[in-house]
Structure 1
Amino acid sequence: MRASELKKYLVSNINKIHIVLENTGFHDITERNGEIRCALPNMDNPTGVMIKLDESMYTSLFEIGYNGDFFGALEKVMDSDFKEVMDYIHNLLGLSRNGDGSTYDPLKELKMLQKGSHIDSEKSNNLYDSSYLNRFVSGVPASLIEEGISPQVIRKFNICVEPFRERIIFPHYDWIHNDKIVGIKGRTTQDLETMKLLNTPKYWNYIKGYRQNANLYGFNITKNNLNQSNMLIIFEAEKSVLKEYTYKQGKGCSVALGGHSISKPQVDFILKHTPINCEIILAFDKDVMTKEIEGEEYIRTEAQKFSPFRGVSYIWDKYDLLGKKDSPVDRGVKIWKYLLKWRKKFDAVK
């Protein structure tokens, strides 16, 4: 798809713009008066970014002085060139390059996977030795303990802290080279009032250019449990994986996307690296279930990416057991087990 065609497609499917922004690290996304407003990945001003919802997609990144094209804004934030940004969006949304907005043919992709072909056209993540973590402090953050995450699981995932900047450090290991780090995400432990006073961003990416849609947080550990569990649970955030592992006493079977859109490279990887009888379970946050532009139809669209090659299901909070922005594991092990037991099986014909 050419840039002009892709803009028309995005403006006609505004939820896709949300997906691109969320997977690139933008947050606090809202719509008003024909615009999208949100915060930059490493900043905390919810109006720091403005995107016009017309075919120009004129974009301003106020805090870094950028004004111009939406794709140019992504180039700036991702430190990439135009071709890389176009490839990133097409791969993330599963779009073909023939200009008609159609998605990729999963049957063709599966045949390529079976032949052992490497079909991920996305630029690979840079690999770093585990000694990268030496700049941080090993420890068990009190805030994670307070959320019910066990010290054993915290150590298992090599969670660190950066005391000077008051951040919890989540290392992301490569999904193939499991001893190599590809991403480091820091989350502030400051309360909201202190964050506003000091202008502290909620999240910070320590490795520039990390492409989370070309990796799966936690797969380096979870891969060892798939044959026993016969399921792979896909959450949005790292802490959800840690909680699920805590509930399973270290024998979890989950990964995190860093958003709620499953990219083509992630689908391809999961199909190639999970047993044929492994059920794929989508466990998105409550707000994805309830948002007008997303909801169950959107979750089913994501589930369909794995059908008919794997059994697929998704968590659905029918009785409003979760808070507005809760992950399915946020209300304790009993509610999580209930939601997991009564998950909805995906049927292509509904």
Structure 2
Amino acid sequence: MDVYALKNYIIEKPEYIKQILEETGFFKVYDRGDEYRCAREAGRNPTSVKVNKQTLSAFCFSTNLNGDLITLIRDKLGLSFPKTIQRIAKIIGFREDDFVEIEAPKTPFGGFYKKLRKISNPQNLDIETYNDEILDRYESKPNLLFYQDGISLFAQRVFNVGYDCVTGRITVPWKSFSGELCGVMGRLNKKQINEGETKWLPIIPFPKSKTLYGFVENYDAIREKGIVMIGLTP
């Protein structure tokens, strides 16, 4: 599910914010112009939670949460990121087919020059996703090679780094923008890569151009800072 399509859908119909808040356990939800206000718990301050209609940015004074509607609901219900997305979509009956994207501008000369080269539009690709249980086939343990490269044991646990005994590669799961497992990359478990060897290979192939590694794990910080710094491994 496209998380941005879902958010834009809600922004276009801000009355859904009230419905989402009420059905996920918030109280005394009321319209206050550019935002909705409510209480996180029954009998508490009815202005302690606010959600902006135009951006879906959210703040909860009682928990000091500074995020958006998604992180607000995730924190309230204690769900994972993908489960939160699914819950919100179910409440408002959202389907990606209901969201119509703006038509791309027409190219000059009928797109003649565009036809001279092969065009690949990754946005038209569907991403196959998998249950997290598929990772049980790999050994779930941190890797010394990554640790020596500065990737802490904590970070390796957060990103579910493991090891595939069949291929002899370190396993690095990748997730879609909605937080669902969509593939696994494998890194040779040695520093010196010989000629003819490939350092990284997909163990479970997926369209990398349709993903951004670490997006879900860093969603809160990305939303708060409004910036993403992308680097490549050597």
* TM-score between the two structures when normalised by the length of structure 1: 0.31
Q: Highest CA radius of gyration, 1 or 2?
A: 2
More helix by share: 1
